[in-house]
Amino acid sequence: MPLLLGSYSPDLMTKWFVYGISIGGWHLKATDPEQFQRGWPGMGFTHSLLYGVLWAFIFWRVLGSKTWAVSFLIGQWAHAITDTGDTVGTMLFFPWTIHIHFGAWAYAGQTGRLTDAAAYFSGPGAVWDLVWIVLGIFSWRVLTRSYFEQNVFTADAFWSKANRVVPMTALLVAYRAAFFYGTCRWIAWSLWAHVVHHYPYDISWGGPHWVHAVHSPPLTWPQLVGVGAIIATGVAVFFASRLEFSRKRWAAIRSRT
Partner 1 sequence: MPSKRQLAVAAGYAVAGAVYIAIGVWFTDFLLSFFVALAYLLLAVWLIPTGVRRLF
Q: How far is the CB of 232 from partner 1 (least distance, A)?
A: 37
Selected from 13, 178, 219, 230, the binder of partner 1 by CB under 8 A is: 178
Provide the 10 A C-beta neighbour count for residue 143. Answer: 15
Q: Is 182 helix (H, G, I), strand (E, B) or coil?
A: helix
Q: How far is CA 122 from the centre of its chain?
A: 20
Considering only the stretches 74-82, 95-103, 166-174, 215-223, report the one whose residues sit in contact with partner 1 under the rule CB under 8 A. Answer: 166-174
First CA to last CA across the chain, in angstroms?
A: 41
Considering only the stretches 24-32, 45-53, 155-163, 187-195, report the one whose residues sit in contact with partner 1 under the rule CB under 8 A. Answer: 187-195
Residue 63 DSSP label: S
Cβ atoms of 214 and 110 closer than 8 Å: yes
Q: How far is the CB of 200 from partner 1 (least distance, A)?
A: 18
Selected from 62, 127, 155, 170, the binder of partner 1 by CB under 8 A is: 170
CA angle 19–199–217, rounded 5-degree value: 55
- What is the phi-psi region of residue 64: left when phi exceeds 0, alpha when psi lies from -120 to 50, beta otherwise? left
Q: Decide whether 113 or 249 has the Cβ nearer to partner 1.
A: 113
Considering only the stretches 31-39, 51-59, 103-111, 190-198, report the one whose residues sit in contact with partner 1 under the rule CB under 8 A. Answer: 190-198
Site for partner 1 in 193-212 (CB under 8 A): 195-196
Q: Which residues contact 187 (CB under 8 A, 6 or more apart)?
A: none
Residues contacting partner 1: total by CB under 8 A: 25
Q: Decide whether 11 or 202 has the Cβ nearer to partner 1.
A: 11
- Reported residue count of the chain is 257
Instruction: State the residues that interact with partner 1 by CB under 8 A.
Output: 8, 113-114, 117, 140, 144, 169-170, 173-174, 176-178, 180-181, 183-185, 187-189, 191-192, 195-196
